[in-house]
Amino acid sequence: MLKQLRFWTFSTLTLILSVFISIPTAFATDAAWARLTRGGYTVLLQGGDSSGTLSPTTDTTVDCTQVRTLSDRGHQLAQKLGARFAAKAIRIDKVMASPVCNAQETARLAFSGVSVEIVSALGPLADDEAAKQSQIDQIRAMIAEFKSSGNLVMMTDRANITALTGIIPRPTEAVVVSSPEAGETVHIAGRIIFD
């Protein structure tokens, strides 16, 4: 009887905690979607899963439109990502992608109605500290320069998102940012969890 009571108590506490943990995430996601409906934001995303397929190459001689680098799961998630933006009627005015093929493929699949601009600064971070800082500064400048009633999507690398925001995003998470406010390097406007 005591064992059953402990199990029931533990199960109840686990359920209550999971509800309280997921509620802020849901509110944060809803708030980020609401901001995107107003426009003027930048959505930072990482390229989809490429495990078990051709390496997500940065070789500039490879025509990324002619190769499939995403796994089946990555392909499905990219399509679902685009469907979520469409279902929420989020206007996307511009899509920029890393030279890495899986980022380009994810961008093309998710946002097929918008041409994808390949931007070298969105590629993997440089090894050299000065070059890395220059790369991050270029991305910040693009975010600050974007002015529109729609939104900008940057399909980049997780390390770039972390360097810009301090956030280590989940594979199925977007970080919504805008021009920096007082004392910020970039303003974090919200996060969207897609799964």
76-113, pLDDT tens digit by residue? 999 999 999 999 999 999 999 999 888 999 999 999 99
**In the beta sheet, which residues pair with residue 152?**
42, 94
Question: Which pLDDT does position 74 carry in this prediction?
Answer: 86
Q: Are 172 and 194 in contact (CB under 8 A)?
A: yes
How confident is the prediction for the chain on average, in pLDDT?
Answer: 82
Q: Is 190 left (phi over 0), alpha (psi -120 to 50) or beta?
A: left
Residue for token pair 């499939």? 68
What's the structural domain count of the chain? Answer: 1
Write out the residue range of the structural domain in which residue 87 sits.
2-193
Taking alpha carbons only, the member of 161, 160, 177, 189 closest to residue 43 is 177
Residue keyed to tokens 């946002």: 111
Q: Considering Cα of 41, then 137, then 192, then 99, what sign does the dihedral take?
A: positive
pLDDT per residue as tens digits for the range 109-139: 999 999 999 999 999 999 999 999 999 999 9
Give the domain CATH number at 153.
3.40.50.1240
| Helices 158-165 + 129-145 axis angle, to 10 | 80
Strand partners of residue 175: 44, 191
**pLDDT tens-digit readout, 24-80:** 444 468 899 999 999 999 999 998 877 655 455 555 556 777 777 788 888 899 999
Rounded CA gap, 115 and 93, in Å? 9
Residue 91: count of CB within 10 angstroms of its CB: 14
Cβ neighbours, 10 Å, residue 21: 9
**E strand or H helix at 28, and its extent?**
helix 2-38
CB atoms within 10 A of CB 86: 14
Model confidence at 15: pLDDT above 80: no
Cite the DSSP H helix spans in 39-128. Answer: 72-87, 101-110
pLDDT value of position 101 = 87
